[in-house]
Amino acid sequence: MNELRTALRSELVSQLGVKGVLTDETGLFSGGLLDSLSVMDLVGFVEGKIGRAIPPAEITLANFDSIDSIVRYSRTLVSNGASA
Amino acid sequence: MGSGLWRALAIRNARYEGLYRKLVHPDGGEWAEMLRERGDFHAMGDHCWLDPHALIEDRAYIRMGNNVRISNCAIFGHDGSVNMINHAYGLKLDNVGKIEIRDNVYIGYGAIILPNVTIGPNAIVSVGSVVSSDVAEGDVVAGVPAKRVGRVEMSVEMLKLKNQKYPWLSMIERRASGYEAQMEPELVRMRVKHFFGSDA
């Protein structure tokens, strides 16, 4: 998941145009760094990285508002899939 | 002639709906209720709002749930290209379909809704979208053809956060409905000051 963390940071800056201070806890949407139209780009990127589809109902601010929350959610999704 | 009479005429005969719209200027709620009373749609739920200038054809093939809000868009229950095909190929074919708009759906300005689609429940069709396939529950769609660009629940969470930063939030919370004329001048003044840093 450290690889995902690094890749996310790079994607947010280079592809999604995030500027300014970006920590692992920075609120991407709540802090106004991304607008709502970027949600699916971010979701698609994470899906590609973890190799799993993200259920639409789980695309929430709690799961996608920061690098930390995305990594935490992805870890849960992957481990649930592995144990299923 | 009073507005009630024009409304009654429009209910009795669709030919008068243009006059009702032009002379009475009904809001979207009044327009929706007039259409409901006339029985234009296959079904219509409660608390619907339809822009009187929306182009809504083939109303008999449209079923609407509760809290459906339709901006000035276009909705078609048919594909007119069939008429060209029939003439060119000497055929007698039909090409129509139902449109199902479930509970809590908003359709934005300039969207085009084509036949054989189900939208929602709890969905937003963004401005200018062309909806040619189903919009899943909870989705926000945009583009041509319309694709998922977000989720309504996430939009609600972000809207709440955005509102917390509005200096006029307490006024919005005091409103009994979506619009109150006496509050409007002060609301506009506060918004202009927030946006541009001065009242004028």
ipTM of predicted complex: 0.82
Residues A47 and A2: their CA atoms lie apart, in Å, by: 16
Radius of gyration of chain A (CA): 12
Q: Which residue matches tokens 């979208």?
A: B129
**B152 vs A: CB within 8 A:** no
Residues B173 and B171: their CA atoms lie apart, in Å, by: 5
Give A3→chain B minimum CA distance, Å: 26
**A53 vs B: CB within 8 A:** no
Parallel, antiparallel, or unpaired: how do β-strands B147-151 and B62-64 relate?
Answer: unpaired
Burial label, B32 (beta-carbon count in 10 A; 0-12, 13-18, 19+): buried
Asked if B188 and B179 touch (Cβ cutoff 8 Å), the reply is: no
Tokens of A71: 């990594």
pLDDT tens-digit readout, B6-41? 888 888 888 888 999 998 899 999 999 999 999 999
Contact A56 B151 (CB under 8 A): yes
- Per-residue pLDDT, B126: 97
**A59 vs B: CB within 8 A:** yes
pLDDT tens-digit readout, A26-70? 999 998 899 888 899 999 999 999 999 999 999 999 999 999 999
Q: What is the dihedral of CA B30, B33, B37, B43, to 10 degrees?
A: 150
Domains contained in chain A, number = 1
Contact B157 A56 (CB under 8 A): no
Q: Using pLDDT thresholds of 50, 70 and 90, give the confidence band for residue A80.
A: confident
Q: Using pLDDT thresholds of 50, 70 and 90, give the confidence band for residue B104.
A: very high
pLDDT surpassing 80 at residue B70 = yes
- Per-residue pLDDT, B34: 94
Q: Which residue matches tokens 């200018």?
A: B128
Contacts of A30 in chain B (CB under 8 A): 158, 161
Average predicted confidence (pLDDT) for chain B: 94
Residues B64 and B104: their CA atoms lie apart, in Å, by: 10
- Per-residue pLDDT, A83: 54
**CATH code, A9:** 1.10.1200.10
Assign B101 to helix, strand or coil.
strand
Q: What is the 3-state secondary structure (H, E, C) of chain A?
A: CHHHHHHHHHHHHHCCCCCCCCCCCCCCCCCCCCCHHHHHHHHHHHHHHHCCCCCHHHCCHHHHCCHHHHHHHHHHHHHHHHHC
Q: Using pLDDT thresholds of 50, 70 and 90, give the confidence band for residue A2.
A: confident
Residues 161-180 on B with a CB inside 8 Å of A are 161
Contact A37 B154 (CB under 8 A): no
Q: How many CB pairs under 8 A join A and B?
A: 39
Contact A29 B138 (CB under 8 A): no
Domain range B46-151, CATH architecture:
3 Solenoid (2.160)
- Per-residue pLDDT, B178: 78
Contact B158 A36 (CB under 8 A): yes
Paired strand residues for B135: B119
Domain ranges for chain B: 1-40, 46-151, 166-200
Contact B154 A39 (CB under 8 A): yes
**B138 vs A: CB within 8 A:** yes
pLDDT tens-digit readout, B110-121? 999 999 999 999
Contact B153 A37 (CB under 8 A): no
**A15 vs B: CB within 8 A:** no
Q: Using pLDDT thresholds of 50, 70 and 90, give the confidence band for residue B53.
A: very high
Asked if B116 and B94 touch (Cβ cutoff 8 Å), the reply is: no
Average pLDDT over residues B164-171: 94
- Per-residue pLDDT, A65: 95
Contact B139 A60 (CB under 8 A): no
Residue in chain B nearest A64 by alpha carbon: B154
pTM: 0.89
* Residue A31: domain span: 2-83
Between residues B189 and A15, which one has the greater pLDDT?
Answer: B189
Cis peptide before B145 (omega within 30 of 0): yes
pLDDT surpassing 70 at residue B200 = no
Asked if B48 and B38 touch (Cβ cutoff 8 Å), the reply is: no
**A68 vs B: CB within 8 A:** no
pLDDT tens-digit readout, B148-159? 999 999 999 999
The CA–CA distances, whole Å, from B11 to A27, A48, B39, B45 equal 52, 55, 9, 18
